[in-house]
Structure 1
Amino acid sequence: MDIVIRPAEPGEYGPLGDITAHAYLQDGLLDFGENDEYLGELKDVAKRAAAAEVLVALRGDELLGGVTFVPSGGPMADIARPGEAEIRMLAVSRAARGRGVGEALVRSCVDRARATEGCVRIVLSTQRTMRSAHRIYERLGFVRTPERDWNPVPHLDDITLLTYELTL
């Protein structure tokens, strides 16, 4: 059965928030574990959906993962400049990893960016340890943009996020 990517429905917000939070926690991507402030942001899918497009990946009725697509700035954009879309909070359940779900979600974001009037590029931030995600991005033509790397928590020097972009 194929993977279907579509906008998240309100009834999926809670389960997707849990998948996203668990993915980040299980992969050791939150510096303060369950006490990390960002954990609340990862779980709050309704907030993201009010400010951007939240997409889900499904196989049948099984929720496999999701991503936030920011088409043109706004409160959900971290690094996007005018003319750029942004990908945020890509997460796939542990059980669904290695089955093309992450790539399908990223491809859907690229397609949406191409369909966004005035959008010339899609950008994203990622942690150094997200190597499987890096492979997806590079396979799809994204290139590293080290000049845009940034630190979301300035008082902690070791949290520099790597950035990638894809020119459309």
Structure 2
Amino acid sequence: MRIRRARPEDLPAAGEVTLAAYADFTEGDVDDYVEHLRDTARRDREAEVWVATRDDSDEVVGTVTICPDGSPWREISKPGEGEFRMLAVAPTARGQGIGAALVDLVVNRFRRDSAPAIVMSTLPVMTSAHRIYEAVGFVRAPELDWSPTDQVHLIAYRLELRP
């Protein structure tokens, strides 16, 4: 597998992978969040979209959005902390280590940037993702849990990078 910063031609496929990965957690086309998930062009302008591809192909099989300081995509991080959003693996590519590799990318990136910690939000039902985060050392941070709408409750995880 290869992981790289998304190129303009990758963005539509990255949006579709994100949408497919989150399909079970949306209300379909009537859900306003669907367009938010699909809009990787905007995310890449305002944050950083990264993609995973197979070694022998440019087919996007995974994606993550890294939210550096100043990005409007940051939700719960304090200045200097790392944050990422919309970790997604194509349903046909699950179980191949792609999600873990994308999380490793995020951790290495924020370590290189000397961030003290990384935080992120997730739905309580995304237990497969929680296992990936916990395997890397993320721990639940209930003090950062929040609700963007009355119908959506997000739980937070945190990884300390510096003592």
TM-score normalized with structure 1 length = 0.91
CA deviations over 1:94-130 (Å, ceiling 9, x no partner): 111000000000100111111114x111110000111
Residue aligning to 2:132: 136
By how many angstroms is 1:73 displaced? 3.8
Instruction: For residue 82 of structure 1, give the secondary structure of its aligned residue in structure 2.
Output: coil
CA deviations over 1:20-69 (Å, ceiling 9, x no partner): 111111xx211x32211111111110100001111100112132110001
CA distance in 2, matches of 1:23, 1:43: 11
Residue aligning to 2:11: 13
By how many angstroms is 1:71 displaced? 2.0
Residue aligning to 2:105: 108
After the TM superposition, which segments of 4 or more aligned residues of structure 1 sit over 3 Å from their partners?
Answer: none
CA distance in 1, matches of 2:71, 2:7: 21
The one-letter amino acid of 1:104's match is A
- Of 71-80 and 39-48, deviating more is 71-80
2:45 to 42, 50, 67: 50
The one-letter amino acid of 2:125's match is T
CA distance in 1, matches of 2:25, 2:112: 32
8 Å CA contact retained: 1:85, 1:123: yes
- Structure 1's unaligned 5+ residue stretches are none
2:81 to 66, 79, 84: 84
CA distance in 1, matches of 2:135, 2:158: 12
Aligned residues: 159
Residue aligning to 1:4: 2
The one-letter amino acid of 2:10's match is E
Residue aligning to 2:25: 29
1:38 equivalent to 2:33? Answer yes
CA RMSD of aligned residues (A): 1.0
CA distance in 1, matches of 2:48, 2:111: 15
CA distance in 2, matches of 1:78, 1:51: 13
Residue aligning to 2:157: 164
- Structure 2's unaligned 5+ residue stretches are none
The one-letter amino acid of 1:152's match is P
8 Å CA contact retained: 1:19, 1:93: yes
TM-score normalized with structure 2 length = 0.94
Identity over the aligned pairs, expressed in percent? 47
By how many angstroms is 1:82 displaced? 1.1
